[in-house]
Amino acid sequence: MMTPMIRATAASLLLAGSMAVAAPALAEDDWIPPVTDALTQTECGDCHMAFQPGFLPARSWDAMMDGLADHFGDDATLSPADTAHIRAYLTANAGDVRGSELARDYMRWVRPDGVPLRITENPAFLREHDFRPEVWDRPEVVTPSNCLACHRDAERGSYEDD
C-alpha cells in the first residue's frame, strides 16, 4: 500500500531535481548508447544489468576485466576467450572513447589518472540520485546500481526520470 506513495514521492523528487538544473533536460541528456554485443549482454547481464560502457573510461573497464576473480566480492571469472571479447567491446565503447552527451557528463568528473570502478560513485550519478533513505529502502531497489528498479528502459540506454 505504501509503494505508490513512495513512488510518487520519488517521481516528484526526481522532477524537482531535474528542474533545479539550469539547462532544460533534453532527451539525449538521459540516453547513452546501449550494449549491442550479445556476449557482453549475456555475461555482464547475468547477475546485474549490463551497464553501458559509456559510464566508465576504458582504463576502468580494463581494471574491471582484470579483477573478475574478486568482482565487488564475487567470483565473476569467465573463460579467457570470453574475457578478451568483452574487454575489447567495453574498452572500444568506453566513455572516453565513444562519448555520448551523458557519457561526457560522467567523464568530466573522472580525474585524468582516475580508475573508477563504481558508476554509482560518480558525482553525475549522485547529483541525480539524492533521495531520502526510504526510497533506497524500497524492496525492489536493493542497491543503487539496480538501474532497472526505477528506469524501466535502462537496458536500452534510456535513463529518463521514470
Partner 1 sequence: MTPARSLTLAALLATGLAASIAPAHAGDAADRQAILDGLAAEARAADPAFAGFAADRGETLFRTQWAGGDDRTPACTACHTENPRAMGRNAKTGRPIEPVAVSAKPDRFTDPDEVAKQFRRDCEAVLGRHCTAQEKGDYITFMMGQ
Which is nearest to 31 in space by CA: 122, 106, 90?
A: 106
Alpha carbon of 72 to those of 1, 21, 69, 118: distances in Å? 34, 32, 9, 9
CB nearer to partner 1: give 124 or 154.
154
Nearer Cβ to partner 1 (100/120): 120
Distance between CA atoms of residues 5 and 9, nearest Å: 6
**CB-based contact 128:17 (threshold 8 Å):** yes
Binding pattern for the stretch 62-101 against partner 1, x by CB under 8 A and - elsewhere: ----------xxxxx-------------------------
- Grid cell, residue 8, equals 510518487
Based on the shown chain and the rule CB under 8 A, indicate whether residue 115 belongs to the binding site for partner 1: no
Task: Print the binding letters for residues 17-56 with partner 1: x by CB under 8 A, - otherwise.
Answer: ------------------------------xxx-------
One-letter amino acid for residue 10 of the chain: A
Q: Rule CB under 8 A: is residue 149 a binding residue for partner 1?
A: yes
Out of 145, 153, 161, 162, the only residue in the binding site for partner 1 (CB under 8 A) is: 145
